Amino acid sequence: MRYLYSALFYLLLPVVVLRMLWRSRRAPAYRKRLAERFGVLDAGIPGEAESIWVHAVSVGETLAAAPLIESLLERYPGHPLVVTTTTPTGSERVQALFGNRVFHVYAPWDLPGAVRRFLRATRPRLLLIMETELWPNMLHYTTGAGCRTLLANARLSERSAKGYARFGALTRELLQDLDTVACQAEADGQRFLSLGLPEQALHITGSIKFDLELDAVMREQAAQLRSELGTGRRPVLVAASTHPGEDEQVLQAFSRVRETQDNCLLVLVPRHPERFDDVFLLCQQAGWQVRRRSAGALPAMADDILLGDTMGELVLLLGAATVAVIGGSLVEHGGHNVLEPAAWGVPVVTGPYMFNFAEVSELLVAAGGMIRLDDPAQLGGCLQALLGDPQRRLEMGAAGQQVVADNRGARKRLLELVAGHMES
């Protein structure tokens, strides 16, 4: 089955390349470093030591993996650390967070030749794949090279499981190449088992996103930002990681909020940078006074919206929020990380589509730290009521922080699994 998959990938390769070039019209970084996608690197890992390979797809996975990567750098200084991503935004985050402390390139496309070239250049002893980024050739050739494989912080929604089930033979073959799957929740693990994962490979470790650390520097920066945005004088509504079709809904809800909170500031943060200009124009065309975060000027009290058009600042912006709305949940995308605002003690509101974060959402809703709407049309009324109820916001914020505190420890459990593979 894998041979058929590989043949199909080769046939579709011109389409894949053209799609990259098409995306580069809006995000020029997509046309750069294309050789890395074929496993052709300017230089390999120096020396003879085997590496540890961490693969994260984009910004979200990179930020989730960042504390784990720091621990790996500290614990295994004799092994070069290779960190791969598939998107330019993920690449930018890796370089900003770790600089030359890690060896960073794009992950090779899942072609036999590309993967083999990459493995020869990087010599991994252990591959850690963040969340559920599974590629048949990557796993087949990595395992064949004697490298151990660990799927870390794994999650598998019902929808994704049904998708994998359509390719049952290929999925079973793929899962047989995983030495360890460290799942966020029992339900995720059961879905992996139903698809053919060997039972001895499964471990339930929890989500490393609960181990988010808001250090003293971050807290000081957030306090400064709250002062700059005037959070003490007006409510600040942060709409985080919005997708197409959501910005319009957020702006409509914001109009409703302004009926009772006429000085409220909306901080609108699109998920993808290629959408920054479009969302800026959308806000202007709706008649709002908008400033761009990238311009550097602080929003005045007369400004309505601050466009979060910078990279790597979302956690900081959430630290200045009165209430946070999480994108990807007002359309059928599956939601994004709700633990970042919860860790700050910020009340969380989402739409109904949180299937990618179902277990975490259930914990927060049950504790009272999050409101999950039945219908996106309810967003305006919900925000209007919440912003008018300071006591409820305090209670929700405290409940969210308690959920985060009660579920820490996944990184420690994950590092124990890593140690078992490195020592074996």
| Residue 67 and residue 7 share a domain | yes
Question: Does residue 278 contact residue 404 with C-beta atoms inside 8 Å?
Answer: no
Owning domain of residue 347: 216-406
Helix or strand (DSSP H, E) at 294: none
Residue 121's CB is within 10 A of a number of other CB atoms, namely 19
| Residue 334 and residue 276 share a domain | yes
| Residue 171 and residue 271 share a domain | no
| Residue 98 and residue 225 share a domain | no
pLDDT value at residue 327 = 98
% of the chain at pLDDT higher than 90: 85
Give the domain CATH number at 288. 3.40.50.2000
Helix or strand (DSSP H, E) at 198: none
**Band (31; pLDDT cuts 50, 70, 90):** confident
| Residue 169 and residue 224 share a domain | no
pLDDT value at residue 130 = 93
pLDDT at residue 259 above 80?
yes
pLDDT at residue 70 above 80?
yes
- Find where tokens 């500031």 sit: 265
Give the domain CATH number at 83. 3.40.50.11720
Q: Judge residue 7's burial from the number of C-beta atoms within 10 Å of its C-beta, 0-12 exposed, 13-18 middle, 19 or more buried.
A: exposed
Average the pLDDT over each of 130-134, 273-277, 292-296 and give the range with the smallest value. Answer: 130-134
pLDDT value at residue 71 = 96
- Model confidence pLDDT, tens digit, residues 400-423: 999 999 999 999 999 999 999 998
| Residue 386 and residue 239 share a domain | yes
- Find where tokens 């009521």 sit: 385
Helix or strand (DSSP H, E) at 149: strand 148-154
d(CA 75, CA 77): 6
pLDDT value at residue 133 = 82
220: left (phi over 0), alpha (psi -120 to 50) or beta: alpha
> Residue 336 carries which DSSP code?
-
Domain presence at residue 254: yes
Model pTM above 0.85: yes
**Band (226; pLDDT cuts 50, 70, 90):** very high
pLDDT at residue 82 above 90?
yes
| Residue 143 and residue 49 share a domain | yes
pLDDT value at residue 182 = 97
Domain presence at residue 37: yes
| Residue 250 and residue 164 share a domain | no
d(CA 422, CA 149): 11
pLDDT at residue 132 above 90?
no
pLDDT value at residue 216 = 95
Q: Judge residue 112's burial from the number of C-beta atoms within 10 Å of its C-beta, 0-12 exposed, 13-18 middle, 19 or more buried.
A: middle
User: 301 or 307, which is more confident?
Assistant: 307
| Residue 413 and residue 335 share a domain | no
Give Cα separations from 43 to 30, 46, 85, 194, 277 (angstroms).
21, 8, 17, 41, 36
Domain presence at residue 120: yes
pLDDT at residue 201 above 80?
yes
Q: Tell me which amino acid residue 320 is.
A: A
How are strands ordered across the β-sheet holding 290-292?
290-292, 305-307, 265-270, 236-242, 323-326, 348-350, 370-372
> Residue 171 carries which DSSP code?
H
**Band (122; pLDDT cuts 50, 70, 90):** very high
d(CA 154, CA 190): 12
Question: Does residue 123 contact residue 45 with C-beta atoms inside 8 Å?
Answer: yes
In b/e form, how buried is each residue of 27-38, taking b as 16+ CB within 10 angstroms? Answer: beebeeeeebbb
332 assigned to active site: no
Hey, which residues does 265 pair with through a beta bridge?
236
Element counts in the chain: helices (H) and strands (E)? 18, 14
Q: Going along 45-163, which residue ranges are E strands?
A: 51-55, 81-85, 103-106, 124-130, 148-154
Would you say how long the chain is, in residues?
A: 424
- Model confidence pLDDT, tens digit, residues 179-192: 999 999 999 999 99
pLDDT value at residue 333 = 95
Domain presence at residue 291: yes
pLDDT at residue 424 above 80?
no
Domain presence at residue 18: yes
pLDDT at residue 177 above 90?
yes
d(CA 280, CA 270): 10
Domain presence at residue 211: no
| Residue 143 and residue 58 share a domain | yes
Average pLDDT of the chain, as a whole number = 94
Catalytic residue among 36, 50, 61, 246: 61
Count: domains in the chain: 2
